[in-house]
Chains A and B, each alone.
Chain A
Amino acid sequence: MRYFQVNDQCNGCLACVQNCPANALRAEDSDANRVLSHNMARCARCGNCYRICPQKAIEFQFMLENGWDEVKSLELVYCSVCGVPIYTVDYRRTLSEKLGKESEPTCSKHRDEVTRAAKAHFLKRKSPDIRPDIRPDVRPDMRGGAI
Chain B
Amino acid sequence: MKILISDPNKCNGCRMCRTACAIRKAGVCNPEKSRIRVIQMDECGRYLPLVCQNCEDAPCIAACPKEAISRMDEPLVQTVIDYNKCVGCKMCLNACSFGAIGFDEDRGRPFKCDLCGGDPLCVHFCEPGALTLKDSAMIQYDQTRASALRRTAGVRR
Contact between B41 and A122, CB atoms less than 8 A apart: yes
Instruction: Tell me whether A119 and B41 are in contact (CB under 8 A).
Output: yes
> What are 25 contact pairs spanning A and B, CB under 8 A?
A95-B63, A98-B62, A98-B63, A103-B97, A108-B94, A108-B96, A108-B102, A109-B37, A111-B97, A111-B98, A114-B39, A114-B48, A114-B97, A115-B39, A117-B148, A117-B152, A118-B41, A124-B151, A129-B9, A136-B10, A136-B12, A136-B13, A137-B12, A145-B42, A146-B43
> A98 touching B96 by the CB < 8 A rule?
no
A binding-site residues for B, Cβ under 8 Å: 86-87, 91-92, 94-95, 98-100, 103, 106, 108-124, 127, 129-131, 134-139, 142, 145-147
Q: Name B's A-contacting residues (CB within 8 A).
A: 8-13, 37, 39, 41-48, 50, 59, 62-63, 65, 90-91, 93-99, 101-103, 128, 148, 151-152, 154-157
Residues of B within 8 A of A118 (CB): 8, 39, 41, 46, 48
CB of A91 to closest CB in B, whole Å: 8
> B9 touching A135 by the CB < 8 A rule?
yes
